[in-house]
A = this chain, B = another copy of it.
Amino acid sequence: MDFKPKTENYKQKVKNSFNSQKFMDFIGAKLMKIEPGFCEIHLPYNDNLTQQDGFFHAGIISTLADNAAGYAAFSLMEEAASVLAVEFKLNLISPGIGDLLIARANVLKTGRTLSVCRADVFVMKDGVEKLCAASQATLIQIKKP
């Protein structure tokens, strides 16, 4: 779908918010791409992010999906607004075995109050991407006073 941002400043707005999330820095996540209604986040493998088998932890996978969905929605919101996740649902499709996690989110619907996004998380191993998780999320625009 083709979306028009409500502010020319949409990329900077998303970057500023992403950069102020200390958790992103803590795990080593990087904001790679913002387009109107789209967001991509990367996260290199790191021993600290693993579950019992040494794979990416499901909490990390959901963190990336949730954040990508939030910023895809935020890219279409007004300048003087912030975004909050209302809820999301995530299916874990294959184990997080690889060197890099890639979350890509697309807006399905952007409304005055609520937005709906889908985010897919891929895991890259030996240069090949594999679908690792699929999610669907609802976001809300909070107008700043």
Could you tell me the distance in whole angstroms from the C-beta of A58 to the nearest C-beta in chain B? 5
The answer to whether A51 has its CB under 8 Å from any CB of chain B is yes
CA distance A35 to B58 in the complex (A): 23
- Measured in the bound complex, the distance between the Cα atoms of B23 and A47 in whole Å is 8
Also in contact, A109 and B131, with CB within 8 A (given A23-B50, A67-B59)? yes
- Count identical subunits in the complex: 4
Please tell me if the beta carbons of A48 and B62 are within 8 angstroms of each other in the complex.
no
A75 within 8 A of B: no
Per the bound structure, the CA–CA distance linking A108 and B87 in Å amounts to 14
> Which residues of B have CB within 8 Å of A64?
59
| Chain B CB within 8 A of A7 CB | no
Contact with B along A61-93 (1 / 0, CB 8 A): 011101100100000000000101111111111
Instruction: Jot down 28 A-B pairs with beta carbons below 8 A, ordered by A.
Output: A20-B52, A21-B57, A22-B47, A23-B59, A23-B60, A26-B48, A58-B63, A58-B66, A58-B85, A59-B60, A59-B64, A62-B62, A62-B66, A62-B88, A63-B63, A86-B114, A87-B87, A87-B90, A87-B138, A88-B90, A89-B89, A89-B90, A91-B108, A91-B116, A108-B131, A113-B140, A116-B134, A118-B118
